[in-house]
Amino acid sequence: MNSTSWTVLSILNNVEDLNLSHNLIVNIFDHFKKFMRNLTSLDLSHNLITHVSNIDFPFLSTNIEKVNLESNKITHPSFIFIDSRNSTITDNKKIFPREILLANNTLTCDCTSYSLVTHFRTHLNAPIKGFQCAQPPALFGLQLQDLHPEDLLCEIDVTFDFCPIECKCYKRAVDQSTIVNCTAANLTRVPVIKSPSIINCTFIELHLEQNMLQDLSNAGDGWNTVRRLNIANNSFTTLSGDSLPEQLEVLDVSGNQLTEVDAALLLKLNHTALRNISLSANPWDCHCENPLLAFAVDNAARITDFSTLQCSDGQPINSATLNELCAWTTTLSFYISSAVSLLLIVCLLAIWLYMKYSLEIKVWLFKYNLLQWLVTEEQIDMDKQYDAFISYSHKDEAFVTDHLLPRLESEELNFKICWHVRDFMPGEMIASQITKAVEDSRRTIIILSLNYLESVWGQMEFNTAYLQSLEDKRNRVIPIIYQDIGDIDQLDPELQAYLKTNTYVRWDDPWFWDKLHYAMPRKRHPKHEQPTCNISMSSLNKKN
């Protein structure tokens, strides 16, 4: 039809039924919005119209009942209906005819049909009639009422530089997601997955089934936006929890060569948003130590193929199999629990006995040289009369009387010192008194000087104290280097060995008193207790 034809038709204001079928019309003319105010039926079937949308309506006639667009070349009808939640249902009636017939068109059901499908699912009296999919093949023959919004996909144009070359990519309008389909592409590695934001989508559904993949290494910045991952029928023997996308919700690993799952993977599966997992057709090793069994039984509702899940030997993976395989573990746990309980009772009894008879036990242990670490020095030395015995040459007595003795017996330190001038009994053998003084003292302080090294009594006192230390297995000798004693390697072998293996104190050390105090026994006498003498002696010199 041309402009002359429309000039003729424009004067037909009273026409109600207009048949323009079997022509070569390629679009719905705009003239219907200007003329024929009484038109009720328009037949445009068997023409070459390729597109119909909202812009073709409304007609001038408010009484239009039917527009027949059957047997045209329409592929993508594009209708946007007003949502009745935001306006009255009569608004759509004012725009569209009561019926728009679309039968026998090569309709493509893709994401551009989303508005039409969602409207029809909530308004069964929608004006579109005879809608039937011709493309894609998966939806061929489906009518409008049979379509689901999630089935409506649009292939992504290669100009967006998003889709891996080995795959096909689609956009799904219902959830603004991207489907990357790499099924049966002979892949040995996961292709680089780019961010879906490139095409204004929020997440990815990735299909990698029927390839030859063995791991999920991927460097793409869109990997962690993958929420649905299908890696069924590949060559996976292990699956690392760290390799899974962070936002994963659906995972299919069926048909691989998985035998066990490690604890890290189970932790990932338990602490992510995963709601659907497929695990069947893997040669799972079924033994009590394999955590898969307990995981599968505890998460049966999340495992979509739980009813077909089997061990490599054909046993079904369920609670009965788990109980059968782990029966011995239950028995072992009972015996272990019983043994632990018995051991606990024995330990509590031993603690009670020790608390009640601790002194008797420690005395017995010390007597037989057993568990010496249980016996404190204070307990061993509780019967000793002195805190320390001072061994020195009489030539160094001024140091003892002017410095050492006054400080040790001061009110601040309050140590009880055995000083031979004061505390040795008159008339007894000096050698026996030296031995008794060492035995009755918790420490023996040696004033090392050249004078001491030349003293026979000094050597005897050191040897006595040294042997007492060996017998008690306690460090009882406190050497004070009062003067330079020369090369230690030239000393008496026992004194040389002791100085090399034990700490000594130097008189010229700024920390002398602190170190000496630290080396003294911890037990102190009450401050009101003063040192006592057996018999006060005015003089008792050990010559040499």
Comparing 278-292, 344-358, 424-438, 528-542, which segment has the lowest mean pLDDT? 528-542
Residue 313's contacts (CB-CB under 8 Å, 6 or more residues apart) are 286
Residues 217 and 287 in one domain: yes
| Total domains, the chain | 4
Task: List beta partners, residue 19.
Answer: 43
Q: Check whether 514 has a pLDDT greater than 90.
A: no
Residues 359 and 467 in one domain: no
What the block records as the tokens of 420 is 């031979």
Q: Give the C-alpha separation, 265 to 271, whole Å.
A: 10
Residues 146 and 180 in one domain: no
Look over the chain and give the mean of its residue pLDDT values, rounded to a whole number.
84
Comparing 46-55, 272-281, 358-367, 479-488, which segment has the lowest mean pLDDT? 358-367
Comparing 118-127, 345-354, 522-531, which segment has the lowest mean pLDDT? 522-531
Confidence class for position 24, pLDDT limits 50, 70, 90: very high
Residue 366 has what pLDDT? 53
pLDDT tens-digit readout, 440-490: 888 889 898 888 888 877 778 888 877 877 776 777 889 898 888 888 777
159 is a domain residue = yes
Confidence class for position 539, pLDDT limits 50, 70, 90: very low
487 is a domain residue = yes
Domain of residue 299: give its range: 153-322
Boundary-marking domain end, from 151, 172, 197: 151
Q: For residue 449, count other CB atoms closer than 10 A to its CB.
A: 22
Q: Check whether 248 has a pLDDT greater than 50.
A: yes
Q: Which residue would you say has higher pLDDT here, 543 or 38?
A: 38
Q: Which residue would you say has higher pLDDT here, 369 or 295?
A: 295
Name the E strands within 449-494.
477-481
Q: For residue 237, count other CB atoms closer than 10 A to its CB.
A: 13
32 is a domain residue = yes
524 is a domain residue = no
Q: Check whether 90 has a pLDDT greater than 50.
A: no
Q: Check whether 84 has a pLDDT greater than 60.
A: no
Residue 332 has what pLDDT? 67
530 is a domain residue = no
Cβ atoms of 98 and 65 closer than 8 Å: yes
373 is a domain residue = no
Q: Tell me, what CATH number does 157's domain have?
A: 3.80.10.10
Residues 172 and 250 in one domain: yes
Boundary-marking domain end, from 124, 151, 178: 151
* Peptide bond between residue 283 and the one before it cis (omega within 30 degrees of 0): no
Q: Which residue would you say has higher pLDDT here, 380 or 414?
A: 414
Residue 278 backbone zone (phi > 0: left; psi -120 to 50: alpha; other: beta):
beta
Q: Give the C-alpha separation, 172 to 166, whole Å.
A: 20
pLDDT tens-digit readout, 399-443: 999 999 999 999 888 999 999 888 888 877 877 888 888 888 888
Provide the 8-state DSSP code for 410.
S
Confidence class for position 270, pLDDT limits 50, 70, 90: confident
Q: Give the C-alpha separation, 88 to 90, whole Å.
A: 5
pLDDT (average), residues 164-182? 94
Residues 285 and 426 in one domain: no
What the block records as the tokens of 387 is 């805190």
Residues 129 and 217 in one domain: no
Residues 335 and 434 in one domain: no
Boundary-marking domain end, from 151, 174, 200: 151
Residue 241 has what pLDDT? 86
Q: Check whether 233 has a pLDDT greater than 90.
A: yes
Residue 489 has what pLDDT? 79
**Residue indicated by tokens 């039924």:** 17
Residues 297 and 436 in one domain: no
pLDDT (average), residues 301-326? 90
Q: For residue 411, count other CB atoms closer than 10 A to its CB.
A: 8
pLDDT tens-digit readout, 189-203: 999 999 999 999 999
Count the residues in the chain: 544
Provide the 8-state DSSP code for 78.
B
* Peptide bond between residue 510 and the one before it cis (omega within 30 degrees of 0): no
Residues 162 and 309 in one domain: yes
Residues 31 and 113 in one domain: yes
Residue 125 has what pLDDT? 74
Query: Does the pTM of the predicted model rise above 0.85?
Result: no
Residue 540 has what pLDDT? 34
Q: Check whether 383 has a pLDDT greater than 90.
A: no
pLDDT (average), residues 233-261? 92
- From the number of C-beta atoms within 10 Å of its C-beta (0-12, 13-18, 19+), residue 99 rates as middle
531 is a domain residue = no
Q: For residue 295, count other CB atoms closer than 10 A to its CB.
A: 20
Confidence class for position 93, pLDDT limits 50, 70, 90: low
Residues 162 and 187 in one domain: yes
Q: Tell me, what CATH number does 453's domain have?
A: 3.40.50.10140
Residue 543 has what pLDDT? 40
Q: Which residue would you say has higher pLDDT here, 282 or 127?
A: 282
Judged by DSSP in three states, 215 sits in coil
Cβ atoms of 308 and 280 closer than 8 Å: yes
Residue 20 has what pLDDT? 93
Cβ atoms of 107 and 71 closer than 8 Å: no
Q: What angle do CA 501, 503, 508 make, to 5 degrees?
A: 135
310 is a domain residue = yes
Residues 264 and 284 in one domain: yes
First to last CA, the chain: 146
